[in-house]
Amino acid sequence: MASYGVEDFVRDYDVSRETCARLEQFAELLSHWNRRINLVSKDSLNDIWRRHMADSAQLRDVIPVYDGALIDVGSGAGFPGMVLAIMGLADIHLIEANAKKCTFLRETARITGSPATIHNLRLGDSTASLAALPKAAIVTARAVSPLVKLLDIVFPIVYDKTYCIFSKGIQADDELKVARQSWQFEVQQIASKVEPGGVILKINNIRRHGS
């Protein structure tokens, strides 16, 4: 497979020179910090514009117009939340339980001038932690947990009009089947532009069975 680079990203996602420069800053910071803390696998850094940047950026066209906050759960190295913030989506909040990763995310937001708020917490640890979060219009997550567990994690911040946008791999159908044993929801599956066989799940009207 031919290498996918920044020029390919700009072509596919139609970003401005300024946005591209900020994403390049992000990529440089990630490479530098990854030598000290484990943010992403070393192999994936060799394909960062496809596996991380493009895989995150494609969510922009799936996310509906929203009034409220976009909360990215388990942000890790900032995918997809930091990419979406750099690309100009509004009121983005990144939730990450690892303090060192939060330090990286805050430094990235500062250097790239991205309007992202970083929360060092783990959903479910306490109800008090929820008080620090705004009302979620959109919830995103990438490579966090199987869907049935992920819905359990995010449910405390989900409201009637919240949309959950989750990137999933080739096991998405199996994950949906398991999740439906515990949850009711509406779902739209959108084919990934980046990962063969991957999908983006657009989920709303989430309810526990029996609630």
Note down pLDDT in tens along the chain; length 211 residues: 568 999 999 999 999 999 999 999 999 999 999 999 999 988 888 899 999 999 999 999 999 999 999 999 999 999 999 999 999 999 999 999 999 999 999 999 999 999 899 999 988 765 656 777 888 999 999 978 999 999 999 999 999 999 999 999 999 999 999 999 999 999 999 999 999 999 999 999 999 987 6
Nearest Cα neighbor of 163 from 79, 70, 60 is: 70
Torsion sign, CA atoms 178, 77, 156, 65: negative
The answer to whether the beta carbons of residues 85 and 59 sit under 8 Å apart is no
The answer to whether the beta carbons of residues 93 and 71 sit under 8 Å apart is yes
Tell me what pLDDT residue 41 has: 87
Query: To which residue do tokens 């939340």 refer?
Result: 81
DSSP class per residue in 53-119: IIHHHGGGGTSPP-SSEEEEES-TTTTTHHHHHHTT-SSEEEEES-HHHHHHHHHHHHHHT--EEEE
Tell me what pLDDT residue 48 has: 94
Pairwise CA distance, residues 97 & 12, whole Å:
32
Tell me what pLDDT residue 211 has: 67
Tell me what pLDDT residue 144 has: 85
User: Cα-Cα-Cα-Cα dihedral of 15, 20, 26, 30, to 10°?
Assistant: 100
Query: To which residue do tokens 């976009």 refer?
Result: 70
